[in-house]
Amino acid sequence: MSGLVFFSCKKEEKKADNAKTTPQTEQKALKVDGIIAHEEITTGTISTTGTIIANEEVEIKSEISGKITGVHFKEGTFVKEGQLLVKLNDDDLQAQVRKLSIEIKMAEEKEGRMKQLLAANAISKEEYDVQLTSLNLLKANVDIIKVDISKTRITAPFSGIIGFKNVSPGAILSSSTVIASIQNTQPLKLEFSIPEKYNNLIYQGTIVDFKVAGSNIINKANVYAKEPKIDQNTRTSKVRATFSNPGGKLFPGSFAEINISVGEKTKVKMVPTIAYIPDISGAKLFVKRGGVAVSVPVKAGIRTEKEIQILEGLNDGDTVIVSGILQLKPKMPVEVNIINQAQ
C-alpha cells in the first residue's frame, strides 16, 4: 500500500513541473532580412518629379475682328519670328487711307498758300495755325489707320512649332478666337518643386539629371531660377531649369523623373526606405541586439528614390531589419538573414 502512495506523489510532482515549463516555452524567432549599417561616401541626392515646358508658349489671337482672307501656315511645322500666319481683309482701311491722302494733299496746298499770306502779313498767325493743325490731324489719322492695317497681318511672335489651326479662310475672326498655339522647343524648360528643407541646397547653376517616360537616357538641365516664396499649402519651392533639347527629341508636357546631387562628398549611413518607420513621437528603425528586435529612434536626412540618410541614432555595424516590419514588436526574437556586407 505504501508503494502505491509513493508512485502517486512522483506523478503529481512531474505534473507540477510540466505546469511550470509549458507556459514559458520560448517564442519562435521571426525570420527577417537585414543589413549591416555602415558609412559610405555620397553627395546626397534629392529625388522628385517635374514637367517639361516650352521655352516660350502662346495662343495666337487677333487684336481686331475681321474676315480671314488667307491662312499662311501648315499645322505642326516650324515658323520663323515675323512670318505671316493669317491675313484679314483690310479693303475698308486701305480706302480710308486713300481718302485721307487726297485730303492731306489738299490741306498741304492750302497750308502752303496760307504760309505765303502769313509772310506778307495778309492773314493772322492764328489763322495759319488752325490750318497747320488741321493738316497734322489728317496725317495722324492716317498713322492710326496704318496701325490697324498692320493688325490685319497676324505674324509669329517668335520662332517655334505651330500647332493645329482653329480657323479657315472666309471665317469672321474675333479677338477672342484662338488661331493656333505656337511653342519654342529649343531650348526647353524643366519645372519641378522641392521640399522646403532642401531649398537652400538648390541655387542658380545647379545641375539637374532627369529622364522621361519610355526612355532611360539621362538628360541634364541647368537651374536658372527659383521662386522666392515657399508655397504655404505644399511647403515646397518651385524651381525651373533649362536644357538645349538637341534634335528636338523631347516635348513640352512630358513627365520627368528628377535626381539632383547636392552637397559635398561626405560619409553617411543609408538604409532602405522600407526600414524607416515614421511615427507621431518620432521616426525609428528596428535593429537586432541580443537576438531580439529593438526599436531605435533616429533622425533622417536626405532621401533618394530607394534609400534614406540616417543622421542620428544608428551605430556603425548595427543590424538594421528591413523586412517583416509590420510584424515586429520590441523585444521580439528575430533570426536575421544579412543581405549586404559591411564595407
pLDDT at 223: 96
Give CA torsion, residues 145, 148, 149, 151, to 10 deg.
170
Helix, coil or strand: residue 129: helix
pLDDT at 334: 93
- Any idea what the Cα angle at residue 337 is, between residues 288 and 333, rounded to 5°? 40
CATH code of 302's domain: 2.40.420.20
Grid coordinates belonging to 274: 522600407
CATH code of 157's domain: 2.40.50.100
Q: What percent of the chain has pLDDT over 70?
A: 89
- Confidence tier at 8 by pLDDT (50, 70, 90): very low
**Domain region containing 217:** 47-55+183-261
205, 236, 261: which is the final residue of a domain? Answer: 261
> Is the pLDDT at 227 greater than 70, yes or no?
yes
| Mean pLDDT of the region 142-167 | 96
* Residue 4 resides in a domain: no
* Sequence letter at residue 2: S
pLDDT at 6: 42
CATH code of 119's domain: 1.10.287
pLDDT at 263: 65
* Residue 133 resides in a domain: yes
| Mean pLDDT of the region 171-178 | 94
* Sequence letter at residue 124: S
Domain count, the chain: 4
- Written in H, E and C, the secondary structure of 284-332 is EEEEEECCEEEEEECEEEEECCCEEEEEECCCCCCEEECCCHHHCCCCC
Residues 140 and 192 in one domain: no
Residues with Cβ < 8 Å from 57, sequence gap 6 or more? 181, 182, 183, 184, 252
- Confidence tier at 341 by pLDDT (50, 70, 90): low
What is each CA distance from 234 to 230, 260, 331, 332, in whole angstroms? Answer: 8, 20, 38, 39
> Of 84, 88, 38, which is closest to residue 68 (Cα–Cα)?
88
Residues 315 and 251 in one domain: no
87 in Cβ contact with 153 (< 8 Å): yes
pLDDT at 128: 94
